[in-house]
Amino acid sequence: MSDITISSGSTRFGDTDRRDLWWLPPLSIFLGLSTFIVYATFRVFYNADYVVDNETSAYLLSPLYSPLIIIPWLPAWISPAMLVLWAPGGFRLTCYYYRKAYYRSFALDPAACAVSERKKNYAGETRLLLIQNIHRYFLYLALVFIVILSIDFIHSVMWPEGFGMSVGSLVILGTVVLLGLYTFSCHSLRHLVGGKIDCYSCVAFGKARHSAWKGVTRLNKSHMYWAWTSLFMVAFADLYIWLVSSGTIIDFRIF
């Protein structure tokens, strides 16, 4: 990494002495996030085929539409997903990892380390961006969503004749697990459970909080990985349920 200094005297946007593929990560993130945003926006407005609910298969609800809130008097174009997605959407938008990702990939400010910036008067997350501090409140909501999605999984294994497991149940389980890992590796949660404590032996439940902090810290190291895998698992789960609900494929029952 000895060649990652900005050219001395260069002030033009994008100038750098870097000879590696520094533009590849921001470009990949731009394409990945854009793909998800386009897909999710389409599905939110599509407002159909988001649930499988019949006598002969597992109950499967798309994570984009969970919890399912149907208000009959609302205009037809307002889908149930619009009533709930602001919470997980806000959680991701204000996430410390995604902030870095979209500042670099969408705002190009800066596009990468040691690459000349667009603006020179960077003021950090002050003024308008101060609103990012709301992340800790979205975390509380995200924890509630983990419970709700876990209940969706329980519904998916309750067949009319008793317990059963289908590919769809496994898809929902995978979504809950990955979203759980993403949520429990959150930087705000790490701060909340013990990151703000200077002396564990001086506070109530110090030992338990230290253990919790160590657990979250271990998960936190892979926060970026959980952010991406959970994002694409949500899209995959929605796509799978869409295909089953529309009759394009059959949800195979394993036992």
Contact 152, 172 (CB under 8 A): yes
Residues composing the chain:
255
Binding to ligand FES by residue 191, rule CB under 6 A? Answer: no
**Cβ closest to ligand FES, residue 187 vs residue 210:** 187
Residue 226 C-beta: closest distance to ligand FES, Å: 9
Binding mask 85-104 for ligand FES (x = CB under 6 A): ----------xxx-------
Interacting residues with ligand FES between 105 and 164 (CB under 6 A):
135, 139
Residue 175 near residue 125 (C-beta atoms within 8 A): no
186 binds ligand FES (CB under 6 A): yes
DSSP for 152-185, written as a single string: HHHHHTEETTEE--BHHHHHHHHHHHHHHHHHHT
- Identify whether the C-beta of residue 170 lies closer than 8 Å to the C-beta of residue 157: no
CB of 234 to ligand FES, least distance (A): 14
Does 188 participate in binding ligand FES (rule CB under 6 A)? yes
CA proximity to 19, closest of 1, 37, 46, 43 = 1
Nearer to ligand FES, 18 or 223 (CB): 223
Distance CA 200, CA 184 (A): 21
State the number of binding residues for ligand FES (CB under 6 A): 9
- Residue 228, interface with ligand FES (CB under 6 A)? no
Tell me how far, at minimum, the Cβ of 127 lies from ligand FES, in Å: 21
Residues forming a β-bridge with 51? 61
Cβ atoms 132, 27 nearer than 8 A: no
Residue 157 beta carbon to ligand FES: minimum distance, rounded to whole angstroms? 28
Q: Which residues make up the interface to ligand FES (CB under 6 A)?
A: 95-97, 135, 139, 186-188, 223
